[in-house]
């Protein structure tokens, strides 16, 4: 098997044993990027020289007899919303084109500490606002399963890079489903940790009470290894949880659901859901029952209000966070010819630098926070958020995990929903509740839809700090389905 098709865990073991060098592994993935990325556009910046230097450092450490961690020398693609002091950080926006931060995000620093080799920065919807990676100022990313379709969003570059074997691992951020939805439509694993379980320091903010860094991988164990590598308390993040990282790697290796109570969310299904998605979901639920889980239906009535609540809370926070991009301190600066006031320069810069979706959300959020409307809109949405958290709490008194389809449909064609924001927002219908409550949730592949042969994701939701339950159930489903398929789902993806 070629190096690019090995798992991250396998690559880490091969490098640690000296059977293969980290430089060889990095070069194999850089070659793959050069071969296929012109078609996919997963990367905004490829750091070939830096990646090879990082890999050489790992090889030198191994040669010196230094013990290596399980992911030392393993390549990773890094979402271009985490600051990196040695390469550009644009957040997919023209307003930050060419910006080089003076510091690393905590997630970036922890990747380096673990010896992971950062191949480059991946494409995304501008400022992580979108469900298709069509909103990037640098062009859309394409789904490796079908180049005419979206790879999900906002972390579409990260999901496509892993699905196309350009990297065995990648990072993403999940504000309303931006890890789980791309993972589902590209046939890989994507995890949203408990809010506060992974640091937001150095993450360019979209919605601060929702943004959550998390891992992408082609299997559950690899995702757990990456999750463990960059998670944990960070004093630089005021929302960081003062608790140890849940035993996610141990859970992924356990892969057993015997005796677990699994709740099927009654509100997720029916009209608007693609038949092939529902068929694969029901098969996955039946599979869990056959593995010894007790399956029951659970009602979470407030989940039906999650989408409108989210699209008041997230734009409101975006309106506040993006005020810092004013053309005064960093990034793009337009109209500064000595004749205009600072206010005029700010207005011209923001008009030129922000794309349509970012402008739409800033305006929505500014309106929701304005005098006379705050309580009616933002305040009411926060009350709905409380009701959703209570629904989760009540559900987890009855069951250990909740399951649903990750997204109502498979990957849709590029451009199909570009002029219909509501249709685009519905892609996150199933994922948003876990963001509003802060719960852990994962998407794992559960088959291909009959209509189009494209991947379908199973979402597994667990209580706050119950991240290990997601990995335990996800690994059990993965193992059972791989036994049925005779190998990983992704081997069926069309070659590029």
3-300+403-492 belongs to which CATH class? alpha beta
From 6, 79, 121, 192, active-site residue: 79
Give CA angle at 404 (231, 438), nearest 5°. 35
Rounded to whole angstroms, the Cα distance separating 211 from 440 reads: 13
Mean pLDDT value of segment 325-330: 88
**Contact call for residues 302 and 346 (beta carbons, < 8 A):** no
**Contact call for residues 159 and 151 (beta carbons, < 8 A):** yes
Distance, first Cα to last Cα, the chain: 17
Rounded to whole angstroms, the Cα distance separating 104 from 16 reads: 26
What's residue 330's pLDDT? 86
Is 178 tagged catalytic? yes
Q: Enumerate residues 6+ apart whose C-beta is below 8 A from 455.
A: 145, 184, 185, 186, 187, 410, 411, 445, 447, 448, 449, 489
Inform me whether the pLDDT recorded for 493 exceeds 80.
Answer: no
The DSSP code for 435 is H
In the Cβ-directed half-sphere of 490, how many Cα atoms lie within 13 Å?
Answer: 27
Confidence of residue 270 (pLDDT cuts 50, 70, 90): confident
Give CA angle at 414 (412, 416), nearest 5°. 70
Exposure pattern of 98-135 as b/e (b: 16+ CB <10 Å)?
Answer: ebebeebbbbbbbbbebbbbbbbbbbbbbbbbbbbbbb
Rounded to whole angstroms, the Cα distance separating 332 from 325 reads: 9
Is 198 tagged catalytic? no
Estimate the share of the chain in helix, then strand, then coil, as percent rounded to the nearest 5: 45, 15, 40
What's residue 1's pLDDT? 57
Give 169's strand partners. 76, 217
Mean pLDDT value of segment 299-308: 97
> What are the two backbone dihedrals, phi and then psi, of residue 73, each rounded to the nearest 5 degrees?
85, -5
Q: 382-407 pLDDT, tens per residue?
A: 999 999 999 999 999 999 999 999 99
Is 491 tagged catalytic? no
Q: Which 3 state secondary structure label does DSSP give 155? A: coil
What's residue 495's pLDDT? 66
Average pLDDT, the chain: 96
C-alpha gyration radius of the chain:
21
Q: 95-143 pLDDT, tens per residue?
A: 999 899 999 999 999 999 999 999 999 999 999 999 999 999 999 999 9
**Contact call for residues 459 and 185 (beta carbons, < 8 A):** no
Confidence of residue 353 (pLDDT cuts 50, 70, 90): very high
Rounded to whole angstroms, the Cα distance separating 430 from 186 reads: 17
The DSSP code for 202 is T
Mean pLDDT value of segment 408-427: 93
What's residue 466's pLDDT? 98
Q: Whose CA is closest to 244, among 437, 467, 70?
A: 467
For the question of whether the overall pTM of this predicted structure is more than 0.95, the answer is yes
Rounded to whole angstroms, the Cα distance separating 176 from 495 reads: 31
Inform me whether the pLDDT recorded for 496 exceeds 90.
Answer: no
- State what percent of residues in the chain have pLDDT above 90: 93
Strands (E), 2-61: 43-46
Q: 15-60 pLDDT, tens per residue?
A: 999 999 999 999 999 999 999 999 999 999 999 999 999 999 999 9
**Contact call for residues 189 and 216 (beta carbons, < 8 A):** yes
Parse the chain into domains and list their residue ranges.
3-300+403-492, 303-385
What's residue 490's pLDDT? 82
Exposure pattern of 309-318 as b/e (b: 16+ CB <10 Å)?
Answer: bbbbbbbbbb
What's residue 448's pLDDT? 97
Q: Enumerate residues 6+ apart whose C-beta is below 8 A from 40.
A: 141, 142, 144, 147, 160, 161, 164, 166, 496
From 178, 240, 316, 404, active-site residue: 178
**Contact call for residues 132 and 149 (beta carbons, < 8 A):** no
Q: Which 3 state secondary structure label does DSSP give 413? A: strand
From 21, 93, 136, 154, active-site residue: 154
Q: 236-250 pLDDT, tens per residue?
A: 999 999 999 999 999
């Amino acid at each position: 098997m070629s190096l690019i098709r090995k798992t991250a865990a396998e690559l880490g073991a091969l490098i640690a044993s000296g059977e293969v060098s980290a430089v060889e592994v990095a070069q194999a993935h850089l070659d793959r990027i050069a071969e296929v990325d012109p078609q996919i556009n997963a990367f905004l910046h490829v750091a070939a020289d830096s990646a090879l230097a990082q890999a050489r450092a790992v090889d030198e450490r191994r040669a010196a007899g230094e013990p290596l961690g399980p992911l030392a020398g393993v390549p990773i693609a890094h979402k271009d919303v985490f600051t990196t002091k040695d390469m550009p950080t644009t957040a997919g926006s023209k307003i930050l084109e060419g910006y080089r931060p003076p510091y690393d995000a905590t997630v970036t620093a922890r990747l380096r500490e673990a010896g992971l080799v950062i191949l480059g920065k991946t494409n995304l919807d501008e400022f992580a606002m979108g469900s298709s990676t069509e909103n990037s100022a640098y062009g859309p990313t394409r789904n490796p399963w079908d180049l005419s379709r979206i790879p999900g969003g906002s972390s579409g570059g990260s999901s496509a890079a892993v699905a196309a074997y350009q990297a065995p691992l990648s990072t993403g951020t999940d504000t309303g489903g931006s890890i789980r939805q791309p993972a589902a439509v590209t046939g890989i694993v994507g995890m949203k940790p408990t809010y506060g379980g992974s640091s937001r320091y150095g993450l360019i903010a979209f919605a601060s009470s929702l943004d959550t860094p998390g891992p992408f991988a082609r299997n559950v164990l690899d995702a757990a290894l990456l999750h463990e590598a960059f998670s944990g308390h960070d004093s630089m993040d005021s929302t960081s949880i003062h608790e140890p990282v849940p035993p996610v790697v141990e859970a992924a290796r356990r892969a057993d659901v015997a005796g677990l109570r699994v709740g099927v969310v009654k509100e997720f299904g029916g009209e608007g859901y693609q038949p092939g998605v529902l068929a694969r979901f029901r098969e996955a639920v039946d599979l869990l029952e056959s593995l010894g889980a007790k399956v029951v239906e659970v009602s979470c009535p407030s989940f039906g209000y999650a989408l409108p609540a989210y699209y008041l809370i997230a734009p409101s926070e975006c309106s506040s966070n993006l005020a810092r991009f004013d053309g005064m301190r960093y990034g793009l600066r337009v109209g500064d010819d000595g004749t205009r006031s600072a206010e005029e320069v700010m207005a011209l810069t923001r008009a030129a630098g922000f794309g349509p979706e970012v402008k739409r959300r800033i305006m929505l959020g500014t309106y929701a926070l304005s005098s006379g409307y705050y309580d009616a809109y933002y305040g009411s949405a926060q009350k709905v958020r409380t009701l959703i958290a209570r629904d989760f709490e009540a559900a987890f008194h009855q069951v250990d995990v909740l399951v649903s389809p990750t997204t109502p449909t498979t990957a849709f064609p590029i451009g199909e929903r570009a002029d219909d924001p509501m249709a685009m927002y519905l892609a996150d219908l199933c994922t948003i509740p876990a963001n509003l409550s802060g719960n852990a949730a994962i998407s794992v592949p559960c088959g291909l839809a009959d209509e189009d042969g494209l991947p379908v994701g199973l979402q597994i939701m667990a209580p706050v700090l119950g991240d290990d339950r997601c990995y335990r159930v996800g690994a059990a489903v993965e193992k059972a389905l791989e036994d049925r398929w005779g190998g990983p789902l992704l081997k069926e993806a069309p070659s590029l």
